[in-house]
Structure 1
Amino acid sequence: MRQSSSPAAPTATPAPYAERLGLPWWAWPAGLAVAGLLAAELWLGATGFRAWLPFVLLIPATVAALAWLGRIRVAVRDGELLVDDARLPVRHVADAVPLDAAGRREVLGVGADPLAFVVQRPWVGGAVQVVLDDPADPTPFWVVSTRHPVELAAALLAARDAA
């Protein structure tokens, strides 16, 4: 979800960017169906309390796993790029390059830099490559999945220019 300020009220700071990299809607019924089928398979071979134990354990565990997979948040605010628990001050951003699925595949492919910081979600098509300019950090760039690569890159560059 992107947040922007009202067009009637000009601000001195750039509009913050925030997004949650949740799972697509179809992953929830598919995951629950697989958990239900597995629980039913285990149910067939047990009797009594043990017959219902797979349902009691597998369905909530699947819900927790699906919620955990969609927990990553990407935000630009207060002069930082926030990706889950990682923080990058925007003063260290040299450039932000929006990538489509093919560009992301090329950056993360065979010739990928092993020192790069990568937060990639396969169900999110786009990404942003954030090139760093910090002599004290051996990380050459970050690659961050996002559904809105152009907006994230613009928010990063605007925050860097404002800092």
Structure 2
Amino acid sequence: MQNAAREAGAASAAVRYRERLAPSLWLFLAAALGGPMLTLVFVPAGSGIALVVGVIATLAIIALMIAGSPRVAVEQNVLRAGRAWIDASWLGEPEIRTGEDARQARGPGLPARGWHLIRGGIDGVVVVPNTDPADPAPSWTISSRTPDRLAAAIDAARASASPRS
């Protein structure tokens, strides 16, 4: 029992930051309109059937939106953004961007060769330089609802990572 508690504590200590970039509330509300529209299509088959199909469709749409949302995590000494990951020893100083600076970082200032994980409706952005000379992506641009916490987790992972030459 104590070993399981210690392992759970070690696993949670290894995760410095975790965030799911789920769509914003207004997008969920817009997607939820698909269920009532489908209900109207099935009314000729019967109102009970139409109602069940509409409710199931609404729940399925919302569940797929949540399940399909990318995750951002800093686990031990690794930054994960969606399906991509990079060792923290290759990361430079993260830059937090909000407001107009974030709009600039997501738009005209977005490097064409960089790694991007950008989601609409999420204002904050963290830009992290990539110092790996073999990697063609010069930086990572990541959307975050809490960019200050993400940047702090990246800094902590960088500090504890083994140095690369």
Q: Equivalent residue for 2:10?
A: none
State how far apart, in whole Å, the 2-side matches of 1:136 and 1:155 are.
Answer: 24
The alpha carbon displacement at 1:27 in A equals 3.8
**Percent of aligned pairs with the same residue?**
29
The alpha carbon displacement at 1:125 in A equals 1.1
**Is this contact kept in 2: 1:99–1:129, CA < 8 A?**
yes
Among 81, 101, 104, which residue is 2:102 paired with? 104
The alpha carbon displacement at 1:111 in A equals 4.6
The alpha carbon displacement at 1:150 in A equals 1.6
Q: Which structure features the higher share of helix residues? A: 2
Q: Equivalent residue for 2:22?
A: 22
**Is this contact kept in 2: 1:19–1:73, CA < 8 A?**
yes
The alpha carbon displacement at 1:15 in A equals 7.5
Relative to structure 1, the CA distance from residue 111 to residue 29 in structure 2 (aligned partners, 3 Å threshold; closer, same or farther) is closer
CA RMSD of aligned residues (A): 2.7
The alpha carbon displacement at 1:85 in A equals 2.1
Q: Equivalent residue for 1:35?
A: 34
State how far apart, in whole Å, the 2-side matches of 1:130 and 1:54 are.
Answer: 45
State how far apart, in whole Å, the 2-side matches of 1:36 and 1:141 are.
Answer: 40
**Is this contact kept in 2: 1:96–1:128, CA < 8 A?**
yes
The alpha carbon displacement at 1:94 in A equals 1.5
**In structure 1, the residue corresponding to 2:38 is in which secondary structure?**
helix
User: Does 2:114 match 1:123?
Assistant: no
**Is this contact kept in 1: 2:36–2:54, CA < 8 A?**
no
Mind listing any 5+ residue stretches in structure 2 that lack a counterpart?
1-12
Structure 1 outlier segments of 4+, above 4 Å? none
State how far apart, in whole Å, the 2-side matches of 1:66 and 1:161 are.
Answer: 35
| TM-score, normalised relative to structure 2 | 0.74
Relative to structure 1, the CA distance from residue 56 to residue 154 in structure 2 (aligned partners, 3 Å threshold; closer, same or farther) is closer
State how far apart, in whole Å, the 1-side matches of 2:109 and 2:21 are.
Answer: 26
State how far apart, in whole Å, the 1-side matches of 2:136 and 2:85 are.
Answer: 16
Aligned pairs, number: 147
**In structure 2, the residue corresponding to 1:16 is in which secondary structure?**
strand
State how far apart, in whole Å, the 1-side matches of 2:119 and 2:154 are.
Answer: 20
Deviations 1:50-89 (A, max 9, x none): x7385377334412332234x3221112111112221110
